[in-house]
A and B are shown apart, each in its own frame.
Chain A
Amino acid sequence: MNGYGGSILRVNLTTGQITKQPTPPELGRDFIGGRGFGVYFLFKEVPKGADPLGPENKLIISSGPFSGMLIPGAGKCDWTTKSPLTGGYADASMGGHFTAEMKYAGIDTIILEGASPKPVYLFIDDQKIQLVDASPLWGKGALAVEKELKDRYGEEYQIAAIGPGGENLVLYACINHDYGRQAGRGGVGAVMGSKKVKAIVLHGTRSVPVVDLKGYRKAGMALYLACKESEGLAEWTRYGTTIVTNWCDEVGALPTRNFSAGSFEGGPNIYGQTMRKEIVITDKGCFGCPSPCGKYSSMKRYNTMVEGPEYETIGMIGSNLGIADIQAVAEANRLCDDLGIDTISAGGCIAWAMECYAKGILTRVDTDGLELKFGNIEATFEAIHKIAHREGKLGNLLAEGTKRAANKIGQGSEKFAIQVKGMEQSAYATHNATAMLLAYMTCDVGAHHNRSWAITYDLQVGRDKVVPEKVARIIWLQNFRPMFDVLGSCRLQWVELGIDRDLYLPALEAITGIHRTWEDLEAVGDRIWNLTRLFWARENEGFGREWDLPSPRFYEEPPQTGATAGQITTFQDVQRLLDMYYEQRGWDNNGLPTPTTLEKLGITAIAV
């Protein structure tokens, strides 16, 4: 198959059996790759009602036709599973160099199934594939394990590893790669830990067949040239995603003290400019990236280094915890990476606990002696350790995520558990930004910004307006943006540099030999979106409209300070957003795809 590694690798960890089968051409035709392959295998192979942390669940790792090719940012790899955090669909996109080596080893998808009786790592070197005893690595940090395995095999081997968080089944454990890239959200690291897989080591040397080599080179060069000529290239490279921190603060989108406000009085201490000046050493990009958004930082106070922090971590562990100290945020980032937990959910969980502490719902007895006040840096570090090791009352409570923790503690704390479908909301406050609020409400993994992002659009249209155009914009983004996770390249060249998306089409055609328009690709995106919705409904009895509601904080509690002081979306408008969204999606009033919609999308047969 042109543009593909050519095989699906299946690793049964219960039996130790490893098999390869050719990648079905019709799979490439209908689902293209990456997240598309992930949702297909998840839907078809994970049985209904499977325990996310049991052997029946699968961890599906997929590249796409752009992965490892001369396409800007073609280092993206998709990790799909049934989420232990949400009980629904999860996929996490990871940058770095893993996906390129995977493809050069001739593999499009790795399916990890079953569960190993003892710790192992999966070793892939072209045709040589084996499970290796990982007992000596168990208990070690993900960054330390990556270094140890690179020392053992060589720099050209790419490593993805879990830390203690994944081993201890923290429900938002992540997978680390390239010393600072993660498959971060939804607990993919816990699923890997439940299968006793500490790491994957891989290296490949094969070439990838393309249909039209000359056309591919020409189209690839056109994409790189567009990036190079982008007016925003210098600034996006200088600051990476942290470029938005001061602006989010200005417009009331910077999560502050558990999203009680959108502006932070200590904001300037954590702005991108401050970070660049105080701690950044150099820039770092993923495979084939012309606009490296990664930043290596040195925290002199702690005598440590980290790749990061990027905006989400600054928002969730900085302002959202009341921490106005960029070195402390970066150190917390390093701890989360090495211990293997998602910085967004960790920040959300600790912020919820800090609010509980401030309100007397949690006391020192519940926090194992920690004075869990907003702004307490040492308590934050200690809480991260406790979560990753599920240590004590606090660690065990927060390792479950805010939804479960709040249901357990009660006393009204459910109202300030800032999550949708069980996933902690990422770092955009949405008290008065209705399109962005809808984006979080309807995102197919929970409250994450990756599928659609619309803060500027809210500001342009009118942030409190609830109009069909906003809903249509979100649906378009949800169908279009995740296609980068299908194709296996980074969306930031389009998102940040603003390159013309049509430039990708000749490259895709030259590589695969299949002519596709963006309309065609968005139709695939729509099909995938509906399948993920069906997966949620299949796995969760009573799934429907109620699951799409945001945290009440965004319709009941206007911020007291900052740019959005006194502003809030009404509950009536929340419901109107859903009404319009379901209608435009072709879903019923409870938010489920109708038979007509499934028929139109051509997924009726898969959906049964």
Chain B
Amino acid sequence: MNVMSAILKPYGILKTYIDGEKEKAVEAGRTVRQMMVDLGIPPEIVALVLVNDEPKPKDYILQDGDIVKLLAVIGGG
């Protein structure tokens, strides 16, 4: 059976949570929030979730083939 998967692309400091890699294949069928928790990314520090370049809530359920970008605000205004 094929496991549904999505591609995670964290920006900036969020890369540190996936060992400095630019992207990582992650399991689909769960929320973005759950994926972040499983990877040790504190969901509250992520300011913007883009799925296939569209803003989505953290409760969005990942679909097979989704590309998920995460952006944190580090410097502020």
Q: Does the CB pair B45–A460 fall under 8 Å?
A: yes
Please state if A456 and B77 are interface contacts (CB–CB under 8 Å).
Answer: no
User: Does chain B have a CB within 8 A of A312?
Assistant: yes
Contacts of B69 in A (CB 8 A): 231
Residue from the list B12, B44, B74, B75 in contact with A231, Cβ < 8 A:
B12
- State whether B71 touches A232 (Cβ < 8 A): yes
**B55 contacts across to A, CB distance below 8 A:** 273
With A250-B44, A459-B45 known as contacts, the answer to whether A244 contacts B12 (CB < 8 A) is: no
Contact between B74 and A498 (Cβ–Cβ < 8 Å)? yes
* CB pair A453 B11 closer than 8 Å: no
Q: Which residues of B contact A247 (CB under 8 A)?
A: 46-48, 73
> Residue A491 at the B interface, CB < 8 A?
yes
Counting chain B residues whose Cβ lies within 8 A of the other chain, the interface size class is 20 to 34
Q: Which of A231, A244, A494 contacts B77 (CB 8 A)?
A: A244
Contact A495 B76 (CB under 8 A): yes
Contact B73 A456 (CB under 8 A): yes
**Is there contact, CB below 8 Å, between A243 and B75?**
no
Q: A232-B11, A232-B71, A273-B55 are in contact. Are A243 and B47 (CB under 8 A)?
A: yes
1/0 per residue B17-32: CB within 8 Å of A? Answer: 0000000000000000
What residue of chain A has the Cβ atom nearest to residue B9's Cβ?
Answer: A231
* Structural contact, A311 and B47, CB atoms closer than 8 A: no
Judge whether B73 and A455 touch: CB under 8 Å.
yes
The reply to whether A498 and B48 form a contact with Cβ atoms under 8 Å apart is: no
Cβ A450 vs Cβ B77 within 8 A: yes
Secondary structure at the B interface, as helix, strand, loop or mixed, is mixed
A449 at interface, CB cutoff 8 A: yes
Q: Of A235, A241, A311, which contacts B50 at CB under 8 A? A: A235
Interface string of A202-243 (1 = CB under 8 A from B): 000000000000000000000000000001100100000101
Min CB gap B57→A, angstroms:
9
What is the 8 Å Cβ interface bit string for chain B, positions 51-77, against chain A (1 contact, 0 not)? 000010000000000000101111111
Question: Which of A246, A251, A454, A498 is B76 in contact with, Cβ under 8 Å?
Answer: A454
In the bound complex, CA of A426 to CA of B76 (Å): 12
Determine whether A496 belongs to the interface, using a CB cutoff of 8 Å to chain B: yes
Q: Given the interface contacts A231-B12, A455-B76, does A460 sit within 8 Å of B42 by beta carbon?
A: yes
What is the bound-complex CA distance between A241 and B47, given in angstroms?
12
How many residue pairs at the A-B interface have CB separations less than 8 Å? 64
Closest to A452 in B: B76
Docked CA distance A495–B76 (Å): 6
Q: Which of A485-540 contact B (CB under 8 A)?
A: 491-492, 494-496, 498
Whether B75 pairs with A496 at a CB distance below 8 angstroms is yes
Do A241 and B77 have beta carbons less than 8 Å apart?
yes
CB neighbours (8 Å) of A231 from chain B are: 9, 11-12, 69, 71
A interface, size bucket: 20 to 34
Residues of chain B within 8 A (CB-CB) of A449 are 76-77
Closest approach, in angstroms, between the C-beta of B42 and any C-beta of chain A?
A: 7
Please state if A244 and B73 are interface contacts (CB–CB under 8 Å): yes
Chain B nearest CB from A447 CB (Å) reads 13
Partner of B72, one of A273, A456, A491: A456
| Chain B residue contacts of A491, Cβ below 8 A | 75
| Known A-B contacts A231-B11, A232-B12, A273-B55; A494 and B44 likewise in contact (beta carbons under 8 Å) | no
Which residues of A432-463 have CB atoms within 8 Å of chain B's CB atoms? 449-450, 453-456, 459-460
A312 touching B12, Cβ below 8 Å: no
Query: What CA separation (Å) do A235 and B70 show in the bound complex?
Result: 11
Are B44 and A498 interface neighbours, CB within 8 A?
no
Q: Is the CB of B76 within 8 A of A456?
A: yes
Min CB distance A431 to B, Å, is: 15
Contact A498 B42, beta carbon cutoff 8 Å: no
Q: Are B75 and A453 in contact (CB under 8 A)?
A: yes
Distance of A366 from chain B, by nearest CB (Å): 33
Are A251 and B44 in touch, CB under 8 angstroms?
A: yes
Within 8 Å CB of A498, what residues of B? 12-13, 74-75
Shortest Cβ distance from residue A478 to the other chain B in the assembled complex, whole angstroms: 13
B55 to chain A, nearest CB (A): 5
Query: Binary interface profile of A, 473-493, with partner B (CB < 8 Å = 1, else 0)?
Result: 000000000000000000110
The answer to whether B77 touches A235, judged by C-beta atoms less than 8 angstroms apart, is no
Chain B residues with CB under 8 Å of A273's CB are 55
> Which residue on A lies nearest to B72, using beta carbons?
A456
Query: Quick check: A495 and B75 within 8 Å, CB to CB?
Result: yes
Give A325 to B72 CA distance when docked, in angstroms: 26
A495 CB contacts on chain B under 8 angstroms: 74-77
Complex CA–CA separation, A290 to B29 (angstroms): 38
Which one, B44, B71, B72, B77, contacts A311 given CB within 8 A? B77
Q: Is the CB of B74 within 8 A of A235?
A: no
| A residues less than 8 Å from B48 (CB atoms) | 235, 243, 246-247
B47 contacts A494, CB within 8 Å? Answer: no
Q: Which residues of B contact A496 (CB under 8 A)?
A: 75
B72 partner residues in chain A, CB cutoff 8 A: 456
Residue of chain B at shortest CB distance from A493: B75
Distance to closest chain A CB from B65 (angstroms):
21
Q: Is the CB of A459 within 8 A of B42?
A: yes
State the 10 A-B residue pairs at the shortest beta-carbon distance, nearest first: A453-B76, A495-B75, A247-B47, A231-B11, A498-B12, A459-B45, A273-B55, A459-B44, A449-B77, A251-B44
Q: List 24 A-B contacts (CB under 8 A).
A: A231-B11, A231-B12, A231-B71, A235-B71, A243-B47, A243-B48, A243-B71, A244-B73, A244-B77, A247-B46, A247-B48, A247-B73, A251-B44, A312-B77, A428-B76, A453-B77, A454-B76, A455-B76, A456-B72, A459-B42, A460-B42, A460-B45, A494-B75, A498-B75
Given contacts A243-B71, A495-B77, 17 further A-B contacts (CB under 8 A): A231-B12, A243-B48, A250-B44, A273-B55, A312-B77, A449-B77, A453-B75, A455-B76, A456-B76, A459-B42, A459-B45, A495-B74, A495-B76, A496-B75, A498-B12, A498-B13, A498-B75
